[in-house]
Amino acid sequence: MGRRTIVSAKRPVSIWVIALLFLAVGGAMFVAHFHSLLAWEKDAVWVEATELAAVVTGVFLLVGKNWARWLAVAWLAFHVAISVPDYGKMAGHAAFLVAIAWLLFRPEAGRYFRGGAGAA
C-alpha cells in the first residue's frame, strides 16, 4: 500500500485576521459580561454562550475546519437579526457579515479549508 499524503493549503492572511478578530471579540466580551453570569442575570447564559461560540469559531478557523466558516457566518447573521430595531447597528453587523462571508468563501480560503488542518 502506498503512503497517503495530505497536502494542506497555506492559511490565507484573511483567515488569520478573521480568526483573531473572532477570538478577540469573543474573549473580550466573555470577560466583560462574566459578572452578569455570576449575578444570575436574565439571559446571561445565552450571552456568554454566543461569546464562547465566537471563540470556538476563531480557534477552528485557525485549525482549518470548514464548519467554522459556516459558524462565523451564522454568528454574524444572528447579530444582524438581534439588532433589527437599531438600524445603525443592524447595518454595521450586515456590513461585517457581507465582508467576512466574502473573505471566508473566496477561492484561496476554499483551498485552505479543503486541505483539512491548515499550515501555519
Domain ranges within the chain, ordered by starting residue: 13-112
pTM of the complete model: 0.82
What pLDDT was estimated at residue 9?
63
What pLDDT was estimated at residue 92?
94
What pLDDT was estimated at residue 6?
45
Q: What is the mean pLDDT of the chain?
A: 88
Residues belonging to the chain: 120
Residue for grid cell 473572532:
22
| pLDDT of 33 over the 50 cut | yes
Percent of the chain having pLDDT more than 90?
71
What pLDDT was estimated at residue 28?
95
| Cβ neighbours around 100 below 10 Å, total | 20
CA distance 80 to 116: 30
